């Protein structure tokens, strides 16, 4: 067991304990409110923007909006040319996602925090699992940053991870975030 394994193990244990103590409802609320919530909403908008843009009804609305802009004169034509319609669509989509995120989190939080022995146990178990997933996500983000730095830093870090029981060296090389942030 190398030093990195011990660090990852201790960090995961701490995160799991915090998750079990806080519970899933409070953990979910914490990680989906504030700046985290905005980042999640932006990411979801990024993922579904193309799908929404391909809907015929949305395309028709955007075309009507562009036609209206073009009818407003040269300034309107300018705004139509820079695809203001897509900017408006992104803002509306972001607002809808924000509202849906808040509603879904409140519903889930209310359900898992029912004052019942079974639900308290489920809340603690799900909290531990959720915080473990958060710890893993943080590890993947750190590995992605190291991959972006590259060069000697990446090579030296990879060499230090050699022989890891948790196969951290393989995780660094085959980080799933590499495919998301491919160059």
Dump pLDDT digits (tens) for 49-73: 989 989 999 999 999 999 998 898 8
pLDDT-based confidence at residue 175 (cuts at 50, 70, 90): confident
Q: Are 165 and 7 in contact (CB under 8 A)?
A: no
Question: Which residues lie closer than 8 Å to 46 by C-beta, 6 or more apart?
Answer: none
pLDDT confidence of residue 183: 55
pLDDT-based confidence at residue 178 (cuts at 50, 70, 90): confident
């Amino acid at each position: 067991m190398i030093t990195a394994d011990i660090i990852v193990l201790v960090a995961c244990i701490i995160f799991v304990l915090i998750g079990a103590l806080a519970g899933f409802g409070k953990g979910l609320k914490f990680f989906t409110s504030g700046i985290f919530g905005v980042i999640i909403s932006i990411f979801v908008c990024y993922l579904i923007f193309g799908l929404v843009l391909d809907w015929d009804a949305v395309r028709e609305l955007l075309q009507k909006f562009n036609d209206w802009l073009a009818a407003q004169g040269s300034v309107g034509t300018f705004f139509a040319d820079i695809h203001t319609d897509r900017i408006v669509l992104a803002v509306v989509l972001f607002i809808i996602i924000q509202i849906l995120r808040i509603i879904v989190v409140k519903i889930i939080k209310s359900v898992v925090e029912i004052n019942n022995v079974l639900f308290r146990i489920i809340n603690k178990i799900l909290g531990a699992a959720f915080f473990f997933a958060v710890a893993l996500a943080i590890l993947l983000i750190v590995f992605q940053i190291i991959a972006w730095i590259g060069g000697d830093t990446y090579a030296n870090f990879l060499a230090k991870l050699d022989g890891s029981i948790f196969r951290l060296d393989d995780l660094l090389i085959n980080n799933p975030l590499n495919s998301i942030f491919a160059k």
